[in-house]
Structure 1
């Protein structure tokens, strides 16, 4: 079971909202809206996706990493390394 299962509906709601925002930006570009207005919407989407990412990461640590730590030291090490790599990818993006 995924660590985010308890928050799945919240994540889906947020992602549907982001999807709608992306469609809105497509419309804005199609209609030649002002550049700064488009960039403002891109920034809002970026922040929304960052929020989803941080929530998923928090759920991963709280559930998957903690469960692995209870299982064995090796499993804990692997999950911490996996989380660290995910954090690195998020920081680079």
Structure 2
């Protein structure tokens, strides 16, 4: 869930954000490299290995964003003692991961 409130990032949050962005920029470069490999008619297995590497790198970013969500949005709903907000946070995650399996 996107938090629309304006808050300053703590030093740890800023470092985490920088790390995620750095990883995403690296992935972006990998994807451009894969496109070049396809343009150059490189060996299919080489392309597949690179695609797997991108998938694994994206999974790491996804894991970190999920942890951040649990540590902020979900934790906030729990601390607030709002059962409706807790259910909403839970159902958002279930819906998201349900779509990913299709």
- Please confirm whether the aligned pair reaches a TM-score higher than 0.5, indicating the same fold: yes
Q: What is aligned with 1:54? A: 63
Q: Which runs of 5+ in 1 are unaligned?
A: none
Q: CA RMSD in A?
A: 1.7
Distance 1:56 1:89, change over 3 A: farther
1:33 match: secondary structure: coil
Superposed displacement of residue 76, structure 1: 1.1
Per-residue CA shift, 1:21-65, capped at 9, x if unaligned? 000001111111111000000000011111111111111011110
Q: Of Structure 1 and Structure 2, which has the larger fraction of its residues in helix? A: 1
2:98 counterpart (78, 88, 92): 88
What residue ranges of structure 2 are gaps of 5+ in the alignment? none
Matched pairs, number: 90
Name the TM-score, length of structure 1 as normaliser. Answer: 0.86
Partner of 2:21, secondary structure, is helix
